[in-house]
Amino acid sequence: MRVLGIETSCDETGIAIYDSEKGLMSHALYSQVKLHADYGGVVPELASRDHVRKIIGLIKKSLAEAGCTSDDIDGIAYTKGPGLIGALLVGACVGRALAYAWGKPAIGVHHLEGHLLAPMLEDNPPPFPFVALLVSGGHSQIIQVNGLGDYQLMGESVDDAAGEAFDKTAKLLGLDYPGGPRLAKLAEQGNPGVHKFPRPMTDRPGLDMSFSGLKTFAANTIADSDGSEQSKADIARAFEEAVIDTLAIKAKRALKQAGMNRLVIAGGVSANKRLRSSLAEIMANIGGEVYYPRPEFCTDNGAMIAYAGWQRLVAGETESLEVKGQPRWPLDTLAVIS
């Protein structure tokens, strides 16, 4: 089965073609980063309009790269939610309309299920069950993944998502949007141990997280600093270490609670090199394994939507003719695929 995947939930237009026999045949991405940079964050209306401008061209490009036509596509998967409603509706309208015109089934995919399953596109995919640490710009969740569609929320951020905290702190440090990767780069120049940031909510039991206090702590530390490049780098380093340590403590706790030794990290923040190496070391120490997607599939992309959509289409799920976006959509309400 060959599936065309469409991702438009936020500021990236991602298109991909996944074939259940051949694997990923093509993928194309257009990032709106430059468009939103002047505003310091995503402007929803501009995002929707830019998806409209780019989506058809990218679909044509993906089909050409895969060497196929609409006749070779067996189903269309698009991100139905959660996300920005206007942006979601662009992908949903195009995906649903193409499926109707081509006479193929369509499926609306949950964006976070896409992120969770992204490591399945790699050579060494994680077997079920596992604990997943899903850390993106919009979500920070720890999920017990028992099987396809069988997702149990173990804990989540009670305020800012980890990626959001990276972005906001980066802004305080004078870095351009999207700040997460830029802050990580600056942190490489920082000296460890100059500042000691808190590890929020780790001194009490439970798997919920909180990151907004770290941003405030960073703001106060910046205000007390000399403003030099080195002190900015030192603050970036201390902030990054605090987020990673906190995530690692919670992930270890979740594995213990679930009685598992397999960890998946996914979502934009899982592209963070220090997070990847820190969790790899922890998992090696406890005799477990960690899985993550290649960096380009950590952040939003069409490949993860094509893959998740294929899993649901092959199980017989299809979408009605109604064009629908679902900006809020709890992950644990998805149908379990047996």
Query: Where do contacts with Zn ion occur on this chain (CB under 5 A)?
Result: 136, 300
- Least distance from Zn ion to the Cβ atom of residue 66, Å: 23
Nearest CB to Zn ion, comparing residues 16 and 218: 16
Which helix (H) or strand (E) covers residue 266, if one does? Answer: strand 262-266
φ, ψ dihedrals at 88, nearest 5°: -60, -40
Lookup: tokens for 137 = 């710009």
Closest CA to 262 of 114, 113, 127, 121: 127
- Is omega for the bond preceding 293 within 30 degrees of 0, making it cis? no
| Residues paired with residue 47 on neighbouring β-strands, in sequence order | none
- Least distance from Zn ion to the Cβ atom of residue 293, Å: 11
- Least distance from ligand KG4 to the Cβ atom of residue 201, Å: 20
Q: Of the candidates 8, 140, 157, 299, which one interacts with ligand KG4 according to CB under 6 A?
A: 299
Residues 165-184 binding ligand KG4 (CB under 6 A) are: 166-167, 178-181, 184
- Least distance from ligand KG4 to the Cβ atom of residue 139, Å: 7
Please tell me whether residue 138 binds ligand KG4 under the rule CB under 6 A. Answer: yes
Nearest CB to ligand KG4, comparing residues 4 and 183: 183
Determine the interface stretch with ligand KG4 among 89-97, 159-167, 212-220, 281-289 (rule: CB under 6 A).
159-167
Which residues are within 8 A (CB) of 225 and not within 5 positions of it... i.e. 6 or more apart? 231, 232, 235
- For 114, other C-beta atoms within 10 Å of its C-beta total 27
* Binding partner of residue 197 among Zn ion, ligand KG4, none, CB cut-off 5 to 8 Å per kind: none
Check if the beta carbon of residue 143 is closer than 8 Å to that of residue 134.
Answer: yes
**CA atoms of 12 and 72, how far apart (whole Å):** 25
- Least distance from Zn ion to the Cβ atom of residue 316, Å: 26
Please tell me whether residue 84 binds ligand KG4 under the rule CB under 6 A. Answer: no
Lookup: tokens for 2 = 């060959």
Please tell me whether residue 113 binds ligand KG4 under the rule CB under 6 A. Answer: no
Check if the beta carbon of residue 197 is closer than 8 Å to that of residue 238.
Answer: yes
Q: Which residues bind ligand KG4 (CB under 6 A)?
A: 10, 136-138, 163-164, 166-167, 178-181, 184, 267-269, 271-272, 299-300
